[in-house]
Structure 1
Amino acid sequence: MLTLDHIAISTEALETGAIDLEDKLGVPLSKGGQHAAMGTWNRLLSLGPGEYLELIAIEPGAPAPPQQRWFDLDNFAGVTRSTTWICRCDDLDAALAAAPEGAGVAWDLARADLRWRMAIPQNGLLPFSGLFPALIEWTAPAHPADRLEDRGVRLTGLRLVSPQAEALAAALAPLVRDDRIEVLHGETPRMEAILSTPNGEIRL
């Protein structure tokens, strides 16, 4: 089974995106770091034990990877918003075998003392127009959520809106059991994270 690990909020520019998101949530974000393999950087926020939010953007001037970046960031434009949910597993190869075609190939990645394997699609886009979760396997004891200050923000819902809602729900059913996840039918694929914050309920 998969477990929700973190939520990726994409933005065109990290600094301005962080200011906007902090204002919306009513709490500061923590410094993250760079992902040299993907040419991206991030800011982080605890969502409670074992979960966190990642604000992510392409890092200006960073070398581009030999393929499309994760989370379809090369094609991202517009307002800062939820784009990807990431689930952790104990065995990435086994999780990929059970996932729909196009869930990606395993990359070995590292930042400081963090070590992980992650499935990244060659074209950057996850199945079901990006609504299937990215798969991650942490390969060292360190986990970002463990070192973030808990500022009281919690993920209370995750809505996946898709024109292929029935097929997406069927693909997720044997892999993820989380009452917060809701799959809905809609003509335009989108993801909505619902957060409990000091500013009340916020939808991203």
Structure 2
Amino acid sequence: MIDHLVYATPDLGIVDRLGIAVGPGGQHLGLGTRNFLAGLGGGAYLEVIGPDPDQPEPAQPRPFGIDGLTEPRLVGWAAGVSGIVDVVARAQAQGYDPGPVMSMSRQRPDGVLLEWQLTPPATGLLPFLIDWGTSPHPSKDAVQGATLVSFRGFHPSPDEVHKGLSALGEELAVAAGELALEAVIQTSGGEVVLR
């Protein structure tokens, strides 16, 4: 199940030109990033993430390849799960390793602390996994008004992607083509296509 889509950018000034109303999510302290969020309906949301000018340069590269981006791009997606350790073990047993489970947190602008577990944030067509545990889901407090109309991927060998998706128990429409993700989002001002 889609938890959220990740739209990474080298400059968060894009949020004013995106065509989708977003609100502040929060800072990822130590990672050098911050995000803005928009609800997409059905318990999913859009995360716009980029360098945080209020943090020092991080010791390691920023997630999602942000440091190498020259323009905004839909870089990945998260699948929401519960019992993430068990989900990872089942995927490994089917020949796909989503990576180790890590714990993270961030404080919302209103002071609420969100804590979650996830596998390493991945880019590409296979999702990373996220388990919000008892934290409130970000889609509930995100700016509302947008709806995810469609979400699909393109890959030179779609069957390879489907093997990984099957091991994770996830679905994504994948067509043959150059590696990319595409989301069509309906807003009050019309459709916005993110690639």
TM normalised by structure 1 equals 0.80
Structure 2 counterpart SS, 1:56: strand
Look up the match of 1:39.
32
Look up the match of 2:16.
19
Q: 1:92 aligns with which of 75, 84, 98?
A: 84
Structure 1 counterpart SS, 2:168: coil
For residue 156 of structure 1, report the CA deviation from its aligned partner: 1.5
Structure 1 counterpart SS, 2:151: strand
User: Is residue 58 of structure 2 the alignment partner of residue 64 of structure 1?
Assistant: yes
Q: Could you say if the C-alpha distance between residues 139 and 31 of structure 1 is closer, same or farther in structure 2, counting changes exceeding 3 Å?
A: same
For residue 144 of structure 1, report the CA deviation from its aligned partner: 0.8
User: Is residue 13 of structure 2 the alignment partner of residue 9 of structure 1?
Assistant: no
Measured in 1, the distance between the counterparts of 2:190 and 2:169 equals 27
Look up the match of 2:102.
107
Q: 1:103-126 CA distances to partner (integer Å, 9 max, x unpaired)?
A: 3322211112211011116xxxx3
Partners of 2:22 and 2:142 within 8 A in 1: no
Amino acid at match of 1:198: S
- Which stretches in structure 1 are left out of the alignment for 5+ residues? none
Look up the match of 2:74.
82
Measured in 1, the distance between the counterparts of 2:142 and 2:57 equals 28
Measured in 1, the distance between the counterparts of 2:106 and 2:170 equals 29
Partners of 1:164 and 1:185 within 8 A in 2: yes
RMSD: 2.0
Partners of 2:37 and 2:143 within 8 A in 1: no
Amino acid at match of 2:14: G
Residues 170-181 of structure 1 mapped to structure 2, 5 A cutoff: 170-176=163-169, 181=172
For residue 158 of structure 1, report the CA deviation from its aligned partner: 1.1
- Which stretches in structure 2 are left out of the alignment for 5+ residues? 108-112
Amino acid at match of 1:165: P
For residue 63 of structure 1, report the CA deviation from its aligned partner: 4.1
| Structure 1 runs, 4 residues or longer, greater than 6 Å off | none
TM normalised by structure 2 equals 0.84
For residue 184 of structure 1, report the CA deviation from its aligned partner: 1.0
Look up the match of 1:141.
135
Partners of 1:10 and 1:56 within 8 A in 2: yes
Identity over the aligned pairs, expressed in percent? 29
Q: 1:31-89 CA distances to partner (integer Å, 9 max, x unpaired)?
A: 111001422101111112411111100223434254x43323233222x2211111111
Aligned length: 184
